[in-house]
Amino acid sequence: MTIEQAEIEATRVLDILLGWLVSPQFYAQIGAVILAVAVAHFANRQIKAKTPYFRSPPEQEPLLKARRWLYSCRDLLFPILCVLMLAIAVQVAEGSVGSSWLVRFAQSIAVIAVLYAAIKRFVRHPLINAAARWIGIPIATLQVFGVLDNVSLYLDSVSLEAGNIRLSLYTLVKAAVFGGVLFWLGRLSNDAGQKAIRKQEALDIPTRELLAKIFQTGLFVLLFILLLQVLGLDLTALTVFGGALGVGLGFGLQQIASNFISGMILLFERSMKVGDYVEVGGGMAGTLHEINMRSSTLHTGDGKEITVPNEKFITSAFVNWTKSDPLQRFEVAFSVPYDADIHRIPDLIQIAAAKHPHILARPSGPACEIKLFGDKGIQFSLTYWVAGTNGYGSDVHFLVWDTLKEAGIALAPLK
């Protein structure tokens, strides 16, 4: 556009603006908009004041959830009334002055206000709320003002082509929007599906975990295919990148692929399951909380979470303390002087230990026997069985101390 053409265009726009400012129809439409908003404001106040559903939040009434939802809609009342009053104003302006473009413009803004109020009131998730405000509202605004198709055509014209594949800016925007929506829905579906699978008590825990991971993998593969279909990409055209993708998986993603396959092997092999107490090399030990696609999580007794790559359970040795039997055998050693009456000690300790609420009578009750004759005393060993990995060592040491003290028998150093 040349300078002369720009000046002509600017003069034309200025003439249109001046024409509006001196036009009676323009001021009539401004009056219609003001009157419609004023009537909507008055009606909003009257409805909220005189309708019990909007006057105060319900506490204990019939249909409490429905009434609370209706009360939460009170923020939408004013923008909805504005849309309705402006719709009436459009008809009045058309019949009286033969023009209503300004009133229609105000009505479009009111529609956007309704959408914004609905998002603010009902969309609680911070990420989804932000996406709806910064992506959904601009798209809705373009649609309401009738320019969405023009903007889409312009974005589609900015493209990059490689063989049979055409990638435009419009495609990238669609990928961002629909990809976010699809994978958000996929995450919700995945959580709901895995909860439903894990509630099936008829299946054992490893089977449930295996089905849950198969469901998760299949769901996200399906979402990826749906995203490609929504974007209108030809799946056969993607075979061009098959070789490069294979090389990338072979080198860059080798560890990820290895961990994923290792996780599936663990689920199929059932060498460990959720709830087992597992000890891995490097001092890592804890209760297995979950087996993910890439790694597994161990919960330690002090509240920490240890993330262990699945491959480590395949390529190195680990100890599963509770794989087939949750019962564990523990031992507590103590020593008494040589002048003590050692014949009384086994019965005293065994009877006292049997009274502990967590020490089991099966597969065998607590047993106390001489372990060795040391330099400073005679060392005894108390062995007992408990369910789980908590040996209650402190409780048992206190038990030994109290029992021997009550019997008048002193303790000697172990070494």
Q: Tell me the β-bridge partners of 162.
A: 165
CA distance 323 to 37: 71
CA 170 to chain centre: 29
Which one, of 104, 158, 103, 114, lies nearest residue 136 by Cα? Answer: 114
Residue 135 one-letter amino acid: I
Per-10-residue mean pLDDT of the chain, 415 residues long, equals 60 58 74 87 84 71 70 80 87 81 83 82 73 74 73 71 65 72 76 80 70 78 76 58 56 68 74 79 78 79 79 80 75 89 88 88 86 88 83 86 88 81
Can you give the pLDDT at residue 14? 59
Taken as a whole, the chain contains a residue count of: 415
pLDDT for the residue numbered 243: 55
Output the CA torsion 242→247→252→257 (10° steps). 70
Question: What is the separation of C-alpha 182 from the centre of its chain, rounded to a whole number of angstroms?
Answer: 14
Distances (CA, A) of 231 to 148, 164, 173: 17, 15, 10
How far apart CA 276 and CA 206 sit, in angstroms, is 11
Q: What is the pTM of this model?
A: 0.45
Cβ atoms within 10 Å, residue 102: 20
Task: Write out the DSSP string of 337-352.
Answer: -TTS-TTTHHHHHHHH
Tokens representing 103 are 């009133």
Residue 296, classed as helix, strand or coil, is: strand
Tokens found for residue 287: 């209760």
Distance CA 297, CA 289 (A): 6
